[in-house]
Amino acid sequence: MNTAIEEVYSSLKEQFRGDLLRPGEDEYADARPIWNGMVARTPRLIARCAEVSDVQTAVRVAAASGVLTAVRCGGHSLAGFGTCDGGMVVDLSRMRQVTVDREAARGWFAGGCLLGSVDVATQKEGLAFPAGVVSHTGASGLILGGGFGWLTRRHGLSCDNVEGFTLVTADGSIAHADRKENADLFWALRGGGGNFGIVTEFEVKLHPVTSVLFGEGLCLRDDIPRVLRRWREFMPEAPDNLKWNLSLRLAPYTENVPADVHGSPVVSESVVWIGDPEEGRRYLDYVLSFCTPVAVTKKVMSFLALQTMADDEFPHGRRYYTKSGYFMSLDDSSIDQMVQALTTVPSPMSQIELAYLGGAAARVGAAETAFGDRSSPFVVNLLGNWSDASDDAGNVSWIRNLFKVLRPSMTPGVYVNFMSGDEEDRVAEAYRERWERLVAVKSHYDPTNFFRLNQNIPAHKAVGKSDHD
């Protein structure tokens, strides 16, 4: 162990209430890996905090010694920012308390919560927080980058539903940010990622949602481009209650899919209606009539079932690589390129994911939060997902090649939470006209760029010190 980290360990040992895990010690092996198996790093110390004072101590001691520090909530950063080689990880996984006030439709949750922790607690009170679609994702990373999922068109981005943040800043002190107090920081935390401190508590608005109408189906062959075109034309006029996602992929080998379709290129449609199911059924039937789908499901399901439905598709430890972007409008040639690329996809688990935002998320002004882009409603995420390290090169180059072909038709910009670890050069592109204001807030709260393992916004004084490892 090198001297600086040894010093950090010795100082923390005196005062830390949580767990201090070092290589070779009990629990370290389980605590080391993050979700993306492509990012296998070895921190020299994992400081698993039990309470807010642990977070403060860890930050103060690490900042004083200059030890590289990663912050981890759910460890789902696609880029792998929840870990590092050689330094320390501040791990928040023991801090998962959630409190709900049903009458006020408000929730408070700690900085280590997974989406599932939040959903389970809020659903007990008949309320829901708008967030992502996989329950083992960390709530902190998702919200700080923006956060979208099934409720976004109806109730806005996750960050739009935050009323206040409590955080530990780079000097180890506690700050609160809301519309009145530290308003610039409040603005920056809604989209600006983990650049400004470690959030220990979120105060959020909740919404009365306990069940949804859900439909899905797979369309094949000539129906694939037809559905994409109908989707492109229909969504701008769709009611906010409707979320209709598409995924180009190879048909899964599951029981509900006819055997002769297994492994064939398909567009998989998932449709969610939030609100009156009778009204929703008309929309669901209409949308699913744009092709002749197989493996069709239409049912009312609980919100918790919806939120955990995709959990098994994205297990911990597999190899993942992404490239993402926005389209203002989806042209025919981009549709054809995506459909064509499907014929050469190297892994049956990889997908070209398409979502349409708009709705409540688009009605928040561009300057109201730091979130990257609300003007381009079409989001594409090229998500490589495979098991074997020997297949890395083929899978990564498939994603990169498709992205290169699509890029000229995209609007500049990218959702920070869908970025890979090799896209540092796109961070300023992600924030565009919000960049200078973000740099100013960063310079105030973290002038030495202590929090730099993220989609990094360097402070004025620390330009050039944005190393990621």
Ligand X SMILES: Cc1cc2nc3c(=O)[nH]c(=O)nc-3n(C[C@H](O)[C@H](O)[C@H](O)COP(=O)(O)OP(=O)(O)OC[C@H]3O[C@@H](n4cnc5c(N)ncnc54)[C@H](O)[C@@H]3O)c2cc1C
- Between the two ends of the chain, the Cα-to-Cα distance in Å is 17
Nearer to ligand X, 82 or 172 (CB): 82
Residue 147 engages ligand X in binding (rule: CB under 6 A) = yes
Q: Round to whole Å and give the CA distance between 317 and 205.
A: 33
Binding ligand X (rule: CB under 6 A), the pick from 43, 87, 111, 293 is 111
Residue 191 engages ligand X in binding (rule: CB under 6 A) = no
Binding ligand X (rule: CB under 6 A), the pick from 9, 109, 148, 186 is 148
The candidate with the shortest Cα–Cα distance to 196, out of 210, 204, 186, 183, is: 186
Q: Round to whole Å and give the CA distance between 302 and 293.
A: 24
Q: Residue 97: phi, psi to the nearest 5? A: -75, 140
Residue 31 engages ligand X in binding (rule: CB under 6 A) = no
Q: 417-455 burial by CB neighbour count: b if 16+ within 10 A, else e?
A: bbbbbebeebbeebbeebeebbbebbbbbbeebbbbbbb
The candidate with the shortest Cα–Cα distance to 111, out of 184, 55, 32, 43, is: 55
Tokens representing 50 are: 């039990």
Nearer to ligand X, 84 or 100 (CB): 84
Residue 73 engages ligand X in binding (rule: CB under 6 A) = yes
Decide: helix, strand or coil at residue 42: coil
Binding ligand X (rule: CB under 6 A), the pick from 18, 43, 75, 325 is 75
Binding ligand X (rule: CB under 6 A), the pick from 18, 74, 107, 130 is 74
Residue 68 engages ligand X in binding (rule: CB under 6 A) = no
In the complex, the smallest distance separating the C-beta of residue 35 from ligand X, rounded to whole angstroms, is: 5
Asked whether the beta carbons of 337 and 352 are under 8 A apart, the reply is: no
In the complex, the smallest distance separating the C-beta of residue 427 from ligand X, rounded to whole angstroms, is: 12
Residue 76 engages ligand X in binding (rule: CB under 6 A) = yes
Residue 314 engages ligand X in binding (rule: CB under 6 A) = yes
Binding ligand X (rule: CB under 6 A), the pick from 199, 218, 219, 352 is 199
Spatial strand order in the sheet of 98-101: 98-101, 106-110, 198-205, 162-168, 174-178
In the complex, the smallest distance separating the C-beta of residue 60 from ligand X, rounded to whole angstroms, is: 16
In the complex, the smallest distance separating the C-beta of residue 300 from ligand X, rounded to whole angstroms, is: 22
Tokens representing 148 are: 């979208």
Residue 321 engages ligand X in binding (rule: CB under 6 A) = no
Tokens representing 445 are: 């709260």
In the complex, the smallest distance separating the C-beta of residue 365 from ligand X, rounded to whole angstroms, is: 20
Q: Residue 46: phi, psi to the nearest 5? A: -115, 115
Q: Round to whole Å and give the CA distance between 99 and 106.
A: 9
Q: Which stretch binds ligand X (CB under 6 A): 45-53, 59-67, 70-78, 262-270?
A: 70-78
In the complex, the smallest distance separating the C-beta of residue 49 from ligand X, rounded to whole angstroms, is: 10
Q: Which stretch binds ligand X (CB under 6 A): 5-13, 74-82, 298-306, 419-427?
A: 74-82
Q: Residue 321: phi, psi to the nearest 5? A: -150, 135
Q: Which stretch binds ligand X (CB under 6 A): 7-15, 73-81, 363-371, 384-392?
A: 73-81
Residue 133 engages ligand X in binding (rule: CB under 6 A) = yes
Tokens representing 467 are: 């190393």
Going by C-beta distance under 8 Å and a sequence separation of 6 or more, which residues neighbour residue 223? Answer: 267, 291, 292, 293
Q: Residue 4: phi, psi to the nearest 5? A: -60, -45
Asked whether the beta carbons of 382 and 247 are under 8 A apart, the reply is: no
Q: Which stretch binds ligand X (CB under 6 A): 77-85, 218-226, 368-376, 404-412?
A: 77-85
Residue 379 engages ligand X in binding (rule: CB under 6 A) = no
Q: For the chain, what is the largest distance between any 2 Cα atoms, rounded to a whole number of angstroms?
A: 66
Nearer to ligand X, 263 or 315 (CB): 315
User: How many residues in the chain?
Assistant: 469
Q: Give the C-alpha distances (Å, rounded to integers) separating 262 from 127, 164, 249, 341.
A: 38, 47, 11, 18
Residue 164 engages ligand X in binding (rule: CB under 6 A) = no
Nearer to ligand X, 92 or 342 (CB): 92
Read off the amino acid at residue 141.
Answer: G
In the complex, the smallest distance separating the C-beta of residue 359 from ligand X, rounded to whole angstroms, is: 15
Nearer to ligand X, 116 or 138 (CB): 138
In the complex, the smallest distance separating the C-beta of residue 278 from ligand X, rounded to whole angstroms, is: 28
Q: Which residues bind ligand X (CB under 6 A)?
A: 35, 71-78, 81-82, 92, 111, 132-134, 137-138, 140-142, 144-145, 147-149, 193-194, 198-199, 314, 417, 453-454
